[in-house]
Amino acid sequence: MKFTKLTLAAICALIAAAAMADKKASETSPSEDLSVYRDYFAKRFPGVPLNEFGNGVYSIDRVSRDSWEAIEEFPPYEPMIEAGEAFWNQKFANGKSLGSCFDGNPAQRTNYPHWNAERKMVMTLPLAINECLIANGETALNYKKGKIADVLAYMSYESRGQKINVEVPDDPDALAAYSAGKSFYFARRGQLNFSCAQCHMESAGMYVRTDILSPAVGHASGWPVYRSKWGELGTLHRRFSGCNKQVRAKPFAAQSEQYRNLEYFLTHMSNGIEYNGPSARK
């Protein structure tokens, strides 16, 4: 069989991705992983600028993009941004507000997720929001949808244009958390025995029924997302949970250690791409 240059490049990229998965998570550094990951998608989808991958499947499919651009002219998430701004400015019973925990600046996306060396854990923005509420005597929010998605929409909107730059320090605990997230990403799970990588690396750009599988690079950039399927905004961990259910695996709790570590790995793999949330998806 004679392969075209594009097919041959895709095969080489698949081999590289397989090598990344087959090694123990601790055997390669985050910077080495990022290089392999970037090279894989550059070869798989030649001509697509790195930042465009932040638009998911709309970066690789013209027909889908046309529909998406029409939706984005009148974004369905605009009322949620306004609701999130109101929640940001709302005074707590003690007279403070959410802004008091973030130096009054809602444009925080570039600061999360990050490794908290003192607590030896990955810190995410939704977790920081709820910890702020609890510390000020307020009720914590549901991590998947509702008010948490609204305030994240506002903070993400204010953060648009900031570049993802998740650093994994040379710290054994931080590297262990990153490696756990990486292992989760490549591990098969559920009755269907699928991994995240099988859908969004090996099968990126291919069809599942009528849907095109989006490339994994850039997946962390557009959250929270308004999905037509949901009819509302949802968080990244809501999507993690949904993916686990789709392969018939028991999902973990939103903001569990497993999902926070997965977010840490996945966001690091999107370094250099601009945050562009909130966004709309099918």
- Residue-wise pLDDT tens digits, 172-183: 999 999 999 999
The CB density around residue 280, as the number of other CB atoms within 10 Å, is 18
Within 8 A by CB and 6+ apart from 27, the residues are: none
Collapse the DSSP code of 189 into the 3-class scheme (helix H, G, I; strand E, B; otherwise coil) and give the result: strand
Instruction: Indicate which residues carry an active-site annotation.
Output: 243
CATH 3.40.190.170 fits 50-282, yes or no: no
Band (209; pLDDT cuts 50, 70, 90): confident
| Encoded tokens for 130 | 């709820």
Amino acid 7: pLDDT = 46
| pTM exceeds 0.85, yes or no | yes
What sign results for the dihedral spanned by CA atoms 71, 222, 200, 51? positive
Amino acid 24: pLDDT = 58
